[in-house]
């Protein structure tokens, strides 16, 4: 219910911008219209997902929209960075129990390794390693499952939003003039729509399968599953890259990216995204120009509130996944020193699988924000 | 018993076993086994301290007790079985040692069955 209400509010924003900027209107008129359409009441009553407030405790969509309408600064970059850092470290702290448990079992399996080395026979020490490994893989998979739940909710929201907005969107394409129609290339819309659905129904289960296969892969050398696991991972990467490339190509063809990203901040952002985001970093860098162009288009429009809500939702989940990847990498590094290499290899593998989750989510996030920007552009008359 | 006493005891037992083996090899075997048991007792008391520390840490980090006891039991069974089978091998009873190993493995597998069941259920839920 909450999700549906949120979808309604964001859609309202997108189309409110149409009525607000249809003619030459003053700020007061815009504010009056803002209240007249009931946006203020809806914004106050809408319950956003808890994760939004975990990242930004003082977030108030209504206040944000009023500040935007009055062209005032909405938040200082330093306070935003502080919120992000706080959230990230809180995530690291919340995952410490699982990691501590993994390390404790690693220590126990290290004792078993000592036993095997002392008596010079693998025998029972090897059999006793099995429950230790299974328990570690269980904790690792639980961590993975927990974080995947957030990603799944986020994707479900994106897909639900697209499903809800697509009919209205199509109607607008028919109603609008050729400028808007040119922008609203149906191929791009379809691509965004397909990408979100594709990630949710194909990539996502494949990532789960890969995580499960990695448990079996490192369990014993007698079970040769390395190539199968690599096949899954490579397939996921290739599919993501393919979908992302098609999307980027469509954007280029339809000449949405009319402006280029400039300035040191923009270049630094591109460099960071290109190098730090796994798998699809290159694609994201390429589409960043478009993203910024779209962001430029919607600046000063009430609809940006919707984009802000979506961005916060996605960013908080991305940060959560990133924190877990980090924790797993740390656990892998420590367990390599105290225990069997199979445990550290499994943990490293799991963190790699989690990074695929991050890549898929980042991919959907960028395309979704572009889609939202286009939606708002239609609302403002193209 | 500190480490110095254990080392001294081990060396004395070895010298004694070597001397006795020349005249009464069966008694040398008993000396060797007895010394092994005493040294293992020392190791076990140290291991117990280590495990109680591990257990308190595990409880502190919210480790579920259902898995805590089987893990400690598995470790104990492994050490005991490995020690016993090695003693049998030292006595030249390779066949008995093998059977002891087998018994130990079966017990470890039986103890790890609940863990395996939980993991399989988790994988089933994930997929």
Q: What was the ipTM of the complex prediction? A: 0.71
CB-based contact B6:B46 (threshold 8 Å):
no
The whole-angstrom separation of Cα A312 and Cα A236 is: 26
Contact of A345 with chain B, judged by CB distance below 8 Å, is answered with no
Of the residues B74, B97, B109, the best mutation for testing chain A's interface (the one with the most A CB atoms within 10 Å of its CB) is: B74
The predicted pLDDT at position A110 comes to 82
Alpha-helical (H) ranges within B1-127 are 3-23, 25-60, 65-90, 94-126
Instruction: For residue B115, list chain A residues with Cβ-Cβ distance below 8 A.
Output: 131, 134-135, 138
Return the structure tokens found at A346: 């499994």
CB-based contact B77:B104 (threshold 8 Å):
yes
Closest CA to A39 of A68, A76, A80, A71: A68
Question: Left, alpha or beta for A255 (phi > 0: left; psi -120 to 50: alpha)?
Answer: left
Cβ contact B61–A100 (<8 Å): yes
pLDDT tens string, chain A, 382 residues long: the values are 455 545 555 554 544 444 444 444 455 655 565 555 555 555 565 566 677 777 777 777 667 766 666 666 666 777 778 888 888 888 888 878 888 888 888 888 887 777 777 766 667 777 788 888 888 888 888 888 888 888 888 888 777 777 766 666 566 556 555 454 455 566 777 777 788 888 888 888 888 888 888 888 887 777 777 888 888 888 888 888 888 777 777 776 665 444 444 444 455 555 555 554 555 555 556 556 555 555 444 444 455 666 777 788 888 888 889 999 999 999 999 888 888 888 888 999 999 999 988 888 888 888 887 777 776 666 555 4
The pTM (predicted TM-score) of the whole model is 0.72
CB-based contact A239:A202 (threshold 8 Å):
yes
The whole-angstrom separation of Cα A368 and Cα A78 is: 26
The predicted pLDDT at position A15 comes to 47
Residue whose structure tokens are 């029972």? A124
Among the partner-chain residues A124, A128, A138, the one whose CB lies closest to the CB of B119 is: A138
Contact of A212 with chain B, judged by CB distance below 8 Å, is answered with yes
Instruction: For residue A142, list chain B residues with Cβ-Cβ distance below 8 A.
Output: 122
Alpha carbon B25 to chain centroid distance? 27
Q: Is A9 helix (H, G, I), strand (E, B) or coil?
A: helix
Return the structure tokens found at A66: 């009023």
The whole-angstrom separation of Cα A229 and Cα A166 is: 37
The whole-angstrom separation of Cα A333 and Cα A327 is: 10
Contact of A142 with chain B, judged by CB distance below 8 Å, is answered with yes
H/E stretch holding A339? none
The whole-angstrom separation of Cα A369 and Cα A202 is: 21
Among the partner-chain residues B58, B63, B108, the one whose CB lies closest to the CB of A128 is: B108
The whole-angstrom separation of Cα A101 and Cα A169 is: 50
The predicted pLDDT at position A261 comes to 44
What average pLDDT does range B111-115 have in this prediction? 84
Question: Buried b / exposed e across A202-231, counting CB within 10 Å, b at 16+?
Answer: ebbebbbbbbbbbbebbbeeeeebeeebee
Closest CA to A33 of A50, A13, A47: A13
B26-82 residue pLDDT tens: 888 888 888 888 888 887 788 788 878 877 877 777 766 677 778 888 888 888 888
Instruction: For residue A108, list chain B residues with Cβ-Cβ distance below 8 A.
Output: 54, 71, 75
């Amino acid at each position: 219910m909450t999700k549906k209400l949120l979808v309604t509010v964001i859609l309202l924003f997108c189309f409110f911008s149409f009525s607000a900027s249809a003619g030459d209107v003053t700020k007061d008129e815009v504010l009056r219209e803002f209240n007249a359409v009931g946006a203020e009441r809806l914004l106050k009553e809408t319950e956003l997902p808890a994760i939004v407030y975990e990242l930004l405790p003082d977030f108030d969509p209504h206040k944000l929209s009023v500040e935007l309408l009055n062209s005032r600064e909405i938040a200082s970059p330093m306070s935003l960075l502080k919120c992000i850092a706080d959230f990230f470290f809180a995530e690291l702290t919340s995952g410490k129990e699982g990691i501590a448990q993994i390390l404790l079992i690693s220590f126990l399996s290290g004792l078993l390794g000592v036993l095997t080395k002392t008596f010079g026979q693998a025998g029972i020490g090897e059999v006793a390693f099995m429950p230790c490994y299974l328990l570690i893989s269980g904790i690792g998979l639980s961590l993975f499952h927990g974080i995947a739940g957030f990603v799944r909710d986020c994707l479900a929201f994106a897909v639900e939003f697209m499903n809800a907005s697509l009919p209205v969107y199509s109607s607008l394409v028919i109603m609008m003039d050729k400028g808007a129609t040119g922008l609203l290339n149906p191929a791009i819309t379809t691509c965004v729509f397909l990408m979100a659905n594709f990630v949710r129904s194909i990539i996502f289960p494949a990532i789960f399968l890969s995580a499960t296969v990695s448990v079996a892969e490192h369990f014993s050398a007698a079970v040769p599953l390395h190539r199968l696991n690599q096949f899954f991972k490579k397939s996921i990467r290739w599919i993501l890259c393919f979908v992302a490339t098609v999307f980027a190509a469509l954007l280029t063809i339809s000449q949405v990216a009319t402006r280029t990203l400039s300035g040191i901040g923009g270049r630094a952002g591109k460099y960071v995204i290109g190098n730090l985001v796994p798998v699809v970093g290159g694609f994201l860098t390429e589409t960043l120009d478009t993203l910024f162009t779209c962001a430029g288009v919607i600046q000063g429009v009430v609809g940006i509130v919707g984009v802000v809500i979506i961005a916060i939702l996605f960013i908080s989940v991305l940060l959560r996944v990133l924190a877990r990847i980090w924790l797993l990498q740390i656990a892998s590094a420590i367990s390599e020193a105290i225990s069997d290499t199979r445990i550290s290899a499994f943990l490293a593998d799991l963190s790699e699988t989690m990074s695929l989750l991050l890549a898929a989510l980042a991919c959907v996030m960028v395309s979704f924000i572009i889609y939202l920007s286009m939606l708002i552009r239609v609302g403002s008359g193209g | 018993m500190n480490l110095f006493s254990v080392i001294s005891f081990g060396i004395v037992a070895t010298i004694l076993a070597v001397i006795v083996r020349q005249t009464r090899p069966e008694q040398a075997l008993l000396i060797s086994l007895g010394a092994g048991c005493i040294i293992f007792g020392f190791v076990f008391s140290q291991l117990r301290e280590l495990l109680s520390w591990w257990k308190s840490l595990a409880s502190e980090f919210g480790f579920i007790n259902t898995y805590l006891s089987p893990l400690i039991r598995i470790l104990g069974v492994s050490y005991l079985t490995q020690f016993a089978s090695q003693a049998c091998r030292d006595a030249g009873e390779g066949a008995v040692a093998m059977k002891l190993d087998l018994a130990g493995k079966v017990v470890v597998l039986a103890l790890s069955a609940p863990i395996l069941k939980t993991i399989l259920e988790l994988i089933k839920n994930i997929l």
